[in-house]
Every structure is written in structure tokens, then in C-alpha cells.
A and B are shown apart, each in its own frame.
Chain A
Amino acid sequence: MRDDELRALTGACAKCGTCRTVCTLYPERKAEISVARGKIALIDAALEGRDGNLDAVQEALSDCLLCGRCERACPNQVLVEEIIMKGRADVARKIGIPAWKQALFGKVMPSPRGRDAARAAASAAQKLFAKKIPTGSGLHYRFPEAFGLAGRTVPKLPARGFVESLKPGEAATGDVMLFVGCVFDHVFPKVGRASYESMKASGRSIAVFRDAACCGLPAMVSGDRESALRCAEENVRRLRAAEAEKIVFPCGSCLLMFKRNFFSLIPEKHPLREDAVRVSDRCEDYASFILETGVVSRLPDPPEGEKVGEIGYHDPCHLSGTLGKGAEAREVLEGAVGSGFAEMKGADLCCGYGGTFNVRDYDTSARIGENKVSLAAGGGTRRISTACSGCILQLRDMAARTDPSLEIVHIAELVAGALSRR
């Protein structure tokens, strides 16, 4: 394996050990192989040919949530997330990617039609195999242990996605483009809808980005850079043509892709680079848009009945951490629910989802998540709001496991709720 670019990135690590202090996984593993310093040493060993067992290296690199806490704590600003993702991709190029992932990332995710079909199939499977679980956040299904989903609770998939539910011609053009994201389109169309309706309150004309490809993050974190690049290129081309002034993201992870990971996939010399920079510059998070356009100041006062401090905010690692947008979401919440919002215990702890991490080690993912949710509930929070699709999937599952009356919502649902009282 050779990769001079990667080598240059790992070379900045001083092996001091700071990453141990913030790693979400370290308290679970209590082993150096779980932290950035260890993984960087492994990547170096693989690059130099000192470790030829690439399957084992990949296994170790996969054992990471990519929460980025180490990167933000690192005194040398080592780009750990980029290093891990690039490491996974380099190794994957040598040892391959599982066929099901290739099909999913390469075929289904870039295509809007493909995703519609996938949701329909999954929805049917859900009804056949899983048990119904009512929770504070609506109906969920719990898969039996034997199903390979290890007792996960997943939301009941809707018959139609948010984009499908739009009338022909509705939200077709506008100055501002809403990038819904796969999950808020297909799994939680209510969030897609709430984002759209509340953004309309800005008075700007809002278009929904109908032929979005997947943001590419699931492929990217799985080491499938080719598929991730395909998604990125598709999105850049389609968004360039649309010429929106702003592109708004209800999901922090999708936004991370556009704000940061794009530039790893589409480097300086890439023909789409200029377009990618232009598109990226126009991207922003939902909360910032709502604040800038004055929607918050136009919200009616929260009703008397709202219980003080019942609503908390969970900081998505990428949105609050990497992109530094924690304050904006809180300001929106204060506008939407007033004293109903209070700082939640352990707000900035990672939810433990980590995308593919949750798939490969559900038990650990669940321990981290349960701990998070119990901490919040113990501090008096009854509704956890957030702004990332992965976090919502995880927090709902964790609530179902620990305290099903706990509600998990997207901040856009609270803003839309407040608007509906006007």
C-alpha cells in the first residue's frame, strides 16, 4: 500500500495521547487500538508494509465512530477523520468492499428512483418480520434477534417519501434549495416536511432538491471513495445547474459532506473543483438559515402550558463539533419553545451511532447510546431535539430500549409546531 498524501497526514501525530481523553470508544475498549494514536500507528505500519494483514487493519480502522472528538482536541490538529476514512479506502481498494455495500453505495444511493424502490422493499420486509412498538416518537418496529438486526428498533417506514408526497410543480424552483437527505426524505418524511414548511416562513422561495444523490457519507465512511465521489459529482453537477442562492441542510452529516469531505474527494486539480467550492460556499445548516431569515423572531410566544426545561438539544458531533453550529440550534430552540428548552445533561456526548459502526457492533453502539439517553432523562429531559439523521435514528432506538416515553424530534418539527400556532 502506498499513499504519500495519507502519510503526510499521519506524520503530524506526536503520539502524545491526548486522543485517549476524549475518545467516545476508549472507555468501552480500554485499549490503545481504539484510539486515534493507535489507528494512526496501524495505518503507518500498513503503508510501510510492516503489517500486511490488511483484513485485520481494516477491522481495527472500522472500530471507530468518526465522532471527531479526538481531532478537535488534538494539539497538532491532526486530521483524524480524514485519516481514518482515507485509510479505510486505501485498504478497501486492496481487499475489496462487501458486495452488498457496493450495490447499495454504487447503485442505490446515487439515484433518487433507486432509493424510492429500496424504501418500498424495506417497508414490506418490516411489516412481514418485525414487531410493532409504539413509542413517544411514533410507531416503531423491533426486529427479532435472529434477523441479523440484533433487536434494533427502527421507525415504521412510510408508504411515501417526502419528495414523492410533493405535488408536481410544488417547490420546483426557488432561490433557496432544501437538501432533504435520504433519511429525512424516506424514513422521517415528517422532518422533511417540517423543514420545508418552516423554511417557507422566511418569505423566501424554497425549492426542494428533487434529484439529489445521496450525500455520499455512508459510502465515504465505508471506504468506498469511488461511490462517494460519484454522489458528490452528481450533486455538484445538479446543484450547479439549479443555481440556488443557498442550499439548506436539516441533517448535519449531509452538510459535513458538502462543507468538508467534498474537498477530499474533489481535490484541487479535479475538473469540478471550482463548481464544488461554489456549491459548498452556499451550503448551510437549517438553524442558521432560520435565524438569518428572521423566522425565529416571527414565531409566536410559546404557549403557557410548555413545561419548563423539558426539551433538550443533542449536539450532533459533526454539526456542533466539526462545523461549530451548536449555538445556532439553541437559539432557534429558545425562539421556538422558550423556557421549554434547557441545556441537557451530556448534550455533547456522541450518540454512539457512527453509521456503519452501529451495523458492525450494535452492542457497543447501544451501550454508548443508552448511556447518553439515560443521562439526559436522569437530568429531567423528556424530549431530545437534534439536527442530524443518524443521531435521530440512534436516539429513537435508544429511547425505545430505555424509556419509550422519551420523545426524539428534529428542531424543525418544533419550529413548524410553533408556526402552526400562529
Chain B
Amino acid sequence: MNEKVISALREIYGERLKTSLEDRICYSYDATGKEFLPDAVAYPLNAEEVRRTVLLANEHRFPVVPRGAGSGFSGGSLPVRGGVVLSTERMDRILSIDTENLVAVLEPGVVTETLKEEVKKKGLFYPPDPASLKFCTIGGNLAECAGGMCAVKYGVTRDYVLGLEAVLGTGELVRTGVSTVKGVVGYDLTRMLVGSEGTLGIITRATLRLVPLPEFAATLLAFFPTNEMGAKAVAGIVEERITPCAMELMDRTAVDCVRQSADLSLPDETGCALLIEVDGQEATVAREADRVEGACRRFGALEVRRAADAAGRDKLWALRRSISPAVRKVNPVKINEDIVVPRSRLAEMFAFLSGLAERKSLKIVNFGHAGDGNIHVNVMISGKDEDERRRAEEAVEEVFRKTVELGGTISGEHGIGIAKAPYMEMEVGPLGVSVMKRLKSCFDPNGILNPGKIFLEEAAVRR
């Protein structure tokens, strides 16, 4: 980016444009740990500034990369082709919480937990709860269609979006969707933008759906000898016609990575732990918790514990949420996959994974949202051994093939970004990719928004 562009950007942003190397380094990474330097960083305060930036980008042809909290796991916010990173962290106002219509309107930089806490004060519930909820933003959640623990019962970000305001790649400001529960006027542009990873539009405002806050919850922690047994218990619980609001599976290694700091003891033969929560009315919660406990025991649980109170529950959830970063204790480089298989095939998947780890002599740590069949398969490598890296890449490819074979999907919630671009066609086929590309060119004909993401030939780097 030349001086002329920088000074045009400075006219929009003033002091809120940063070009020092130090500031740029601080927006060069996300939770994948990869780094790409942007040419500049700007902190927009409103849609108009975003719009002017994208217009300028069309004129001078530089990339514009929206960024929330940079907690993404597929490299979505990495400026792989340079350009300007638009950090939404200062567009962080909740504009309204409508308790009659159960709707919230907010800017994209609002942190997910902040929204959840604010609506909770009014007896309402915004369900999506990615493990990163304390820091990730609604904009990032929308752009990745983030899931979370409670997706098994409440669905994912997509299920709570009514309408959006976004700046398209052309610099046009579009308002999509509705602020009512229903609406079928034309194509569903709202859902088109959800999960588009900042490649179709930059979301500047969101209208989200809320639901009443469940009054009670009970949390159980069950230990099983193996992942397969844990997975069978998950399917068994669902067959009981209970829908817990979370069923999180953690394998032994994952639990070991976090339990010292949380002071958690385990039965010796533990190979897997299930963290299960049921919510709703007081009477039903107690009954369902008993049935969940019974089912766990029938499926071979070594021990089942219940959180005594809210503090105990918080502790268990904090433990679960810290797993993802903490598995680095196993090995410094994490190849983080995010597959989903039908719940009934989970046990089969786990059997395949343990065989794979052995066959390729790799360390694979598994945890995730077993309730909806979403497993984070983490191949942990040293990063220094070329042969190990090659084996890891082969293993990942095998995992994806197996996933598709079992009727699953290669990414449940983390998105494609740069990390999974090479594998997309495996699942959606050449026609699927081609239709997506045609859509991309409608929204962003000059390829301004977040270039180098999702599509293989554009992916600047493989993992």
C-alpha cells in the first residue's frame, strides 16, 4: 500500500489508523498461531467508515480483512495478502434489547459473553456459547457461524440471526432480513452472510433473536474407560429422549492438560470424561439429571459426579473452556480439526482415530461437542520434525475422508479460512465450489474482502 492510500485512510480514521510495525504485528495472528503482516490496521467506529474504506479499496485495489477478536481457528482474520485489517473491537455497543419482541440489536464488536450477560439481566437468553465466549465477538461468530456447547439443544449462531447490516465488497451498505420471527421475502441474504468468513460483506450491525432464560440447570461429570464408551453413552442418552443442553466429551489427555490447575481428581482407568448439562424447569431438570446419570451407568461409567451448586458448575465449565489452548502442553504445534459425524457413528469415528494415531505414531487429542457429533481432533506435533509433519498431514486427510464417508462434515464451526481450503472440494464437490465462487463474485467482484480464504487456488498458503 503506497503513501497515497495511507493518507486517504488517515483521512477516514485519523489517529485510529495504525501503521507502525508494532501495531501491525499485533494484528498479524489469530488463534491458529500463524502470522501474516497487514499493511495497516484501522479501528472503525461505524458503518460509514467501513463503507468508505471498501470504496477506497476498490479504487486502489488493496485487501480489506475484517477482524473481531482474532480467536478464529481457521485463519479467517489473517491478512494473508496484506492490506488493511479492520478491527471491530471499538464497534462494541449493544443498541437495544427488546423484551417484548425478544430481539437484540448490536454492533459486531460486542463480545459474546457481554451480550449473554446483558440479556440475562432481563431474564433472556442468547444461547450460542462457543468456548471462546469470553473474548470472541458477535461479528466473528456470525462470520464463522460459531457453535458451542449448547448447540445440541439450542442450535448455532445461524439459528439466532434475524437480520444484518453489512458493507459488501462493492462498498454498498445492504440491510438484510427482518426483525420479526418470520420473513421470506426473496433470497435469504442474511444466512448467506452468516458463515461467509468476511469474504462477502463486513457486518456492521446485527439483529439477533433471544429466548427466555431457562430457570434451572444441573451439571454432571461422568468418567468412562474409553472414548468409544463415552460416545455410546451420548447416543444412549439421546435415545432416552432427553436433550441435554450440552454433552461435551474430553479424552484422557485433554483432561490431564487442565486438571492440575483445577484440582480435579479422576478414577484411575479414566479414558474419557463427559460433561453433561440439562436445563429447564426445576422438576424436569432433577428428573432428567437422574435419567442421564442412570444412562451413563448403564453404558459403563466408572463414576458420575454432580456439581453441587452454581460455583461448582462454573468451575467445570471453566475447565472445559480452557482445554483448547491448554492442549499445547502435549506438543507445541496444534493441527486443529473440527469434524462432525452423525451421533450414531461417533464411536466408530473414535475407534478409527485411535487406530490412526497408532498407525501414524502421532499424538492426537480429542475433545468437543459430542452431543452434536462435533469432535475437535487435534494432531499435536513438535513442529520441528518434517517426517512427523508429513504423517500429520496424511492423518488429517484420512480423518476428512473417513468423516465424509460416515456422512459427516469436515468443519462444524471453525470454518474453512486457509486451514481447510485444500479439502473443501472433497465434501462439496466441484459444482458446489463453482456455485460458491459465482456467489462470491456477485458480492465482491473485485476480490477486495478477505482474499485468499475458503477457495483453494486463492489460498496463499497451505497449512
Chain A partners chain B = yes
Chain A residues with a Cβ under 8 A of chain B: 11-12, 14-18, 20-21, 30-33, 37-38, 41-42, 45, 50-51, 53, 56-57, 59-60, 74-77
User: A41 touching B28 by the CB < 8 A rule?
Assistant: yes
Residues of A within 8 A of B18 (CB): 31
User: A17 touching B136 by the CB < 8 A rule?
Assistant: yes
Tell me the complex Cα distance, A273–B136, Å: 44
Tell me the complex Cα distance, A238–B285, Å: 63
Q: Can you list 12 pairs linking A and B with CB atoms under 8 Å apart?
A: A14-B325, A15-B33, A15-B70, A17-B71, A18-B325, A32-B26, A32-B70, A38-B25, A51-B22, A57-B22, A60-B22, A75-B323
User: A16 touching B325 by the CB < 8 A rule?
Assistant: yes
In this complex, what residue of B is CB-closest to A52?
Answer: B21
Tell me the complex Cα distance, A42–B21, Å: 9
User: A45 touching B132 by the CB < 8 A rule?
Assistant: no
Return B47 CB to nearest CB of chain A, in Å. Answer: 18
Return A336 CB to nearest CB of chain B, in Å. Answer: 28
Residues of B within 8 A of A12 (CB): 328
Return B311 CB to nearest CB of chain A, in Å. Answer: 16
Tell me the complex Cα distance, A45–B37, Å: 11
Tell me the complex Cα distance, A77–B20, Å: 30
User: B69 touching A11 by the CB < 8 A rule?
Assistant: no
Q: Which of A31, A41, A77 contacts B35 (CB 8 A)?
A: A41
User: B70 touching A17 by the CB < 8 A rule?
Assistant: yes
Residues of A within 8 A of B90 (CB): 30
Q: Which of B27, B31, B43, B111 contacts A16 (CB 8 A)?
A: B31
User: B135 touching A41 by the CB < 8 A rule?
Assistant: no
Tell me the complex Cα distance, A56–B325, Å: 29
In this complex, what residue of A is CB-closest to B329?
Answer: A76
With A21-B134, A21-B135, A32-B87 known as contacts, the answer to whether A14 contacts B26 (CB < 8 A) is: no
Return B38 CB to nearest CB of chain A, in Å. Answer: 12
Q: Which of B71, B136, B326 contacts A75 (CB 8 A)?
A: B326
User: B135 touching A15 by the CB < 8 A rule?
Assistant: no
Residues of B within 8 A of A76 (CB): 325-326, 328-329
Query: For the complex, is B89 an interface residue (Cβ under 8 Å from A)?
Result: yes
In this complex, what residue of A is CB-closest to B111?
Answer: A21
User: B328 touching A15 by the CB < 8 A rule?
Assistant: no
Tell me the complex Cα distance, A102–B189, Å: 63
Q: Which of A30, A31, A45 contacts B25 (CB 8 A)?
A: A45
With A18-B135, A20-B135, A30-B89 known as contacts, the answer to whether A11 contacts B332 (CB < 8 A) is: yes
User: A51 touching B25 by the CB < 8 A rule?
Assistant: yes
User: A75 touching B325 by the CB < 8 A rule?
Assistant: yes
Tell me the complex Cα distance, A109–B27, Å: 40
Count of chain B residues with a beta carbon within 8 Å of a chain A beta carbon = 40
Tell me the complex Cα distance, A30–B35, Å: 21
- Interface positions of B from 311 to 329, Cβ below 8 Å from A: 321-326, 328-329
Query: For the complex, is B48 an interface residue (Cβ under 8 Å from A)?
Result: no
Residues of A within 8 A of B43 (CB): 30-31
Residues of A within 8 A of B337 (CB): none
Tell me the complex Cα distance, A11–B113, Å: 28
Return B432 CB to nearest CB of chain A, in Å. Answer: 32
Residues of A within 8 A of B35 (CB): 41
Tell me the complex Cα distance, A38–B322, Å: 20
Residues of A within 8 A of B295 (CB): none
Tell me the complex Cα distance, A32–B31, Å: 13
- Interface positions of B from 85 to 101, Cβ below 8 Å from A: 87, 89-90
Q: Which of B26, B135, B258 contacts A42 (CB 8 A)?
A: B26
Residues of B within 8 A of A14 (CB): 31, 33, 324-326, 328, 334
Residues of B within 8 A of A18 (CB): 134-135, 325
User: B71 touching A33 by the CB < 8 A rule?
Assistant: no
Tell me the complex Cα distance, A31–B326, Å: 24
Q: Which of A30, A32, A45 contacts B27 (CB 8 A)?
A: A32
Return B33 CB to nearest CB of chain A, in Å. Answer: 5
Residues of B within 8 A of A50 (CB): 25
With A16-B31, A17-B71 known as contacts, the answer to whether A31 contacts B325 (CB < 8 A) is: no
Residues of A within 8 A of B129 (CB): none
Residues of B within 8 A of A15 (CB): 29-33, 70
In the complex, the 6 A-B pairs of residues with the closest C-beta atoms, listed nearest first:
A75-B322, A38-B26, A14-B325, A32-B26, A17-B135, A16-B325
Interface digits, B382-399 against A, CB 8 Å rule (1 contact, 0 not)?
000000000000000000
Tell me the complex Cα distance, A31–B113, Å: 19
User: A56 touching B21 by the CB < 8 A rule?
Assistant: yes
Please give 11 more A-B residue pairs, beta carbons under 8 A apart, in addition to A17-B136, A33-B23.
Answer: A14-B31, A17-B31, A21-B134, A31-B18, A31-B89, A32-B70, A38-B26, A41-B26, A42-B22, A75-B322, A75-B325
Tell me the complex Cα distance, A311–B261, Å: 33
In this complex, what residue of A is CB-closest to B20?
Answer: A56
User: A16 touching B132 by the CB < 8 A rule?
Assistant: yes
Return B29 CB to nearest CB of chain A, in Å. Answer: 5
Return B402 CB to nearest CB of chain A, in Å. Answer: 27
- Interface positions of B from 335 to 384, Cβ below 8 Å from A: none
User: B22 touching A16 by the CB < 8 A rule?
Assistant: no
With A31-B26, A41-B35, A56-B21 known as contacts, the answer to whether A20 contacts B325 (CB < 8 A) is: no
In this complex, what residue of A is CB-closest to B67?
Answer: A32
Determine which residue in A12, A17, A77 has the highest number of CB atoms from chain B within 10 A of its CB, and name it.
A17
Residues of B within 8 A of A42 (CB): 22, 25-26
Tell me the complex Cα distance, A164–B33, Å: 55
Residues of B within 8 A of A33 (CB): 22-23, 26
Residues of A within 8 A of B20 (CB): 56
Residues of B within 8 A of A53 (CB): 21-22
User: B29 touching A41 by the CB < 8 A rule?
Assistant: yes
Tell me the complex Cα distance, A76–B331, Å: 12
Tell me the complex Cα distance, A319–B256, Å: 29
Tell me the complex Cα distance, A303–B330, Å: 58
Residues of A within 8 A of B28 (CB): 41
User: A20 touching B332 by the CB < 8 A rule?
Assistant: no
Tell me the complex Cα distance, A76–B327, Å: 8
In this complex, what residue of B is CB-closest to A35?
Answer: B26
Determine which residue in A16, A17, A38, A41 has the highest number of CB atoms from chain B within 10 A of its CB, and name it.
A16
Determine which residue in A20, A51, A74, A77 has the highest number of CB atoms from chain B within 10 A of its CB, and name it.
A20
Tell me the complex Cα distance, A56–B87, Å: 22
Tell me the complex Cα distance, A411–B277, Å: 43
Tell me the complex Cα distance, A74–B318, Å: 11
In this complex, what residue of A is CB-closest to B327?
Answer: A14
Return B261 CB to nearest CB of chain A, in Å. Answer: 7
Tell me the complex Cα distance, A195–B326, Å: 42
Tell me the complex Cα distance, A59–B325, Å: 28
- Interface positions of B from 278 to 336, Cβ below 8 Å from A: 321-326, 328-329, 332, 334
Return B308 CB to nearest CB of chain A, in Å. Answer: 20
Return A75 CB to nearest CB of chain B, in Å. Answer: 3
Return A48 CB to nearest CB of chain B, in Å. Answer: 11
Return A79 CB to nearest CB of chain B, in Å. Answer: 14
User: B22 touching A20 by the CB < 8 A rule?
Assistant: no
User: B332 touching A16 by the CB < 8 A rule?
Assistant: no
Interface digits, B1-39 against A, CB 8 Å rule (1 contact, 0 not)?
000000000000000001011110111111111010000
Return B68 CB to nearest CB of chain A, in Å. Answer: 10
- Interface positions of B from 105 to 152, Cβ below 8 Å from A: 111, 113, 132, 134-136
In this complex, what residue of A is CB-closest to B135?
Answer: A17
